[in-house]
Every structure is written in C-alpha cells, then in structure tokens.
Amino acid sequence: MTDVPAPNPTPGVLQRLGHVATSITGPWTFRNALMWIGLIAFVLTVRWLLMEPYSIPTGSMEPTLHGDPRFLRGDRIAVNKLAYGPRVPFMNKRLFHFSEPKRWDIVVFNSPDPHAVHPTLVKRIAGLPGERIHIADGKIHVNGVPVEPPPELQSTLNYTTQLKRSKEDIQTFILQMIQRDAFPAMLNPTNPGVRDLMKELNAIRGELNGRNAGTLDQAEIDRLFKGLSSLSMYIAGELFGLEQAAQCPLRYGVQTEDEFSLVPPNCYLVLGDNSGDSADGRYFGWLPNDNILGPAVCTWWPIGRWRDFTGFSKTWWGKSILYGPPVLLVAHEIVSRIRRRRSK
C-alpha cells in the first residue's frame, strides 16, 4: 500500500506575518540584523544632525506656507538642523554655534509656551538680540526705525497688533456660548440691542435642537445665522475680541515697556506671515536660540509647491543632494543590467 503524503498544514497568522516581514527585511540573520541596525542609526543621525522633514499644521504662515493637519494636505518642509549648530538630542541646548539666525529667516523651533497645542512651530525671524522692537503701521520698527522686508516679501508681510475676527470665528464663538449657556455678565440685559441679541440666540438654540455644533458644516451654520442682525453680529464680535485678547494677549513687540520691546541676549522675536491669525512671539514672547531646530530649506511636498528658501539648489552641493541620488540609482540599475547580460 502506497503511503499518501500528509497535506501541508495551513500556515497560521504569525507564520504569514513572518513571511511578510522577511519579504521586506530579508532573511533574519546576524549579518542582516547588523545592516538594518546600521541603516536605522544612519537615518536617526541624519534626522538629528543634518536634515529633517516637518509638516505645516496651521495657516499661520500663509501664503508662504500652506497649513493643513490632514494627511498629505499641508506643505512639507525640509529643515537644515546643522545650519545654526548641532543640538543635544531631546534637549533645548545647542552644543556650539556655526552661524546665527538672520532677520526674515523661516525657522522651525520648539515652542517656549508649555501649553502650546503644537509644540513644534514654524515662524519667521523678525527681531534680533539687543534690538528694541515695535510693530506699527504693518511694519517692524527696530530702535524706532521701520525695517523694510526684502522685495519678494513686501506684498506678503503686514504685521498687526491684534488677531483678526473673521465671520466664521465669531459664528463659532456664538455657537459655543449657546451650547455652554454661558453669556458674559458684562452684558446689560436692559439694553435693547442686548435684548435683541438674546432673542436671536434663543432662536438659533431652538433650531439647533440639541445638535452638537461641531458636526455642522459651514452651509448649515450660515443658514442658522441668517436671522442674526448686523448689530447682534457686531456685539458678538466685540465679545469675541475681548475673550480673544484675554486668552491670547499680544504684548511682545506691541507694548513699549522694556519687558515687551527689548529683545534679550541670545533670543529672537518670531512672527507668522499670516499676522492676523498667528499666535506667535507677540503672544509667547522671546524665543531662545537653543529652541531653534534650524532654518527651513525648501518646501518639498506637494510637488507643485516646491520652493527653495535659501538658494541651495543653485550651489554645487545642493545640486548634488537633489540630483545625486536619482543619478546614482539609474547608474546602479544600468550597471546591474550590463552585468546580468554578460553573465548569460
């Protein structure tokens, strides 16, 4: 009687995962493990010492940099982490200095505000150590003299001393008041304009009918506010401005006292290009040099917004970085094909 070979058992989940892993990493050998450890160490060293990519999560640097927290929507920039000198890993401390930040440099840094929503920020250098800074008439005044930005930035930079109050921001503020059922005590309930405001807000509450305002799109919000009078919108806007000023006071570079106008040694004033919508150095204060990770070199994603901020792409070393890897890859493929043909 002929023995029938037993069928191979169906591979389990762990075995299938192992096959997938080895198809990516190669065989699990000591030599291969050393290769991967070396590759990971190389990547980490490059990210710590030379270059690292960052995303732009908000619109505070519009129109220079587009911000969007969604996946692959906002601009991606490359940061030169060696330009100002190497830093101690995981610490706000620079080992030594190569060069100093210059006015109008775009820099990436660890926010000095411990409560920042985004701990890593991107802003532009506006004030240098030892300068007396004052923002007026849309310009930076250094020691009483207005400083003109470079020609390519003159149509972009217009610095303000207060944050903007857009219609959408005021609508969101009103919806939050309605949902919290918390109206400022400063409102005089006997004032006719305030009485009309309360009546109109109660009507919006009725139309909401318990829905979470965060689930509404802008078209639904606009429909809700169709019955809100211009006077009510004005009053709500003033309330929003007061709350905004209390939560995010703009003092540095705005007020004239030394504490808020004189940049300390080894510190900088950094501002967003979208001045009316940027919680920047005017709010969190002077930025220590050690917090700066490095200057933005370029926008590398999306492809249609590629932009060189430093002129490196016109240097020989910049061209080597940009075009060297793809040229080497193509050359390697050509040589491999020639060798395969000769070996046949």
pLDDT over 90 for what percent of the chain? 32
Check residues 132 and 116 and name the one with the higher pLDDT.
Answer: 132
Alpha-carbon distance of 55 to 305, in angstroms, equals 13
Half-sphere exposure of 113 (CA within 13 A, CB side): 15
Provide the residue ranges of all domains of the chain, joining segments of one domain with +. 51-163+249-313, 167-246
> If DSSP codes are grouped into helix, strand and coil, which group holds residue 317?
helix
What is the DSSP secondary-structure string of 247-313?
A: HS---TTTS-SHHHHBPPTTEEEEE-SSGGG---HHHH-PEEGGGEEEEEEEEEESGGG-EESSSGG
Nearest to 309 by CA among 117, 120, 54: 54
Give residue-wise pLDDT tens across range 133-184: 999 999 999 999 999 999 999 999 999 998 888 888 888 888 888 887 777 7
- Burial (CB < 10 A; 0-12, 13-18, 19+), residue 313, is middle
- What CATH code would you report for 51-163+249-313? 2.10.109.10
Check residues 85 and 323 and name the one with the higher pLDDT.
Answer: 85
> If DSSP codes are grouped into helix, strand and coil, which group holds residue 148?
coil
Nearest to 281 by CA among 273, 272, 293: 272
Check residues 169 and 30 and name the one with the higher pLDDT.
Answer: 169
Alpha-carbon distance of 297 to 316, in angstroms, equals 15
**Using CA of residue 277, residue 281, residue 283, residue 288, what is the dihedral sign?**
positive
pLDDT at 2: 54
Alpha-carbon distance of 30 to 161, in angstroms, equals 61
Q: Is beta strand 145-147 parallel, antiparallel or unpaired with respect to 51-55?
A: unpaired
pLDDT at 134: 97
Nearest to 282 by CA among 254, 240, 244, 245: 254
pLDDT at 47: 67
pLDDT at 158: 94
pLDDT band at 95 (very low <50, low <70, confident <90, very high): confident
pLDDT at 8: 53
Give residue-wise pLDDT tens across range 185-230: 777 888 888 888 888 888 888 888 878 877 888 888 888 888 889 8
Check residues 244 and 31 and name the one with the higher pLDDT.
Answer: 244
The answer, yes or no, to whether residue 9 has pLDDT greater than 60, is no
* Pick from 39-48, 59-68, 85-94, 309-318: least confident: 39-48
The answer, yes or no, to whether residue 62 has pLDDT greater than 90, is yes
Alpha-carbon distance of 221 to 233, in angstroms, equals 14
> Residue 235: CB partners within 8 Å, gap ≥ 6?
193, 194, 197
Which whole number is the average pLDDT over 10-32?
67
Give residue-wise pLDDT tens across range 325-336: 777 777 877 887
The answer, yes or no, to whether residue 32 has pLDDT greater than 80, is no
Check residues 344 and 2 and name the one with the higher pLDDT.
Answer: 344
pTM: 0.75
Alpha-carbon distance of 167 to 139, in angstroms, equals 26
Q: Across 23-32, 232-241, 327-336, which has the greatest mean pLDDT? A: 232-241
The answer, yes or no, to whether residue 246 has pLDDT greater than 60, is yes
Question: Which amino acid belongs to residue 229?
Answer: S
- 127: enclosing H helix or E strand: strand 120-127
The answer, yes or no, to whether residue 43 has pLDDT greater than 80, is no
The answer, yes or no, to whether residue 315 has pLDDT greater than 60, is yes
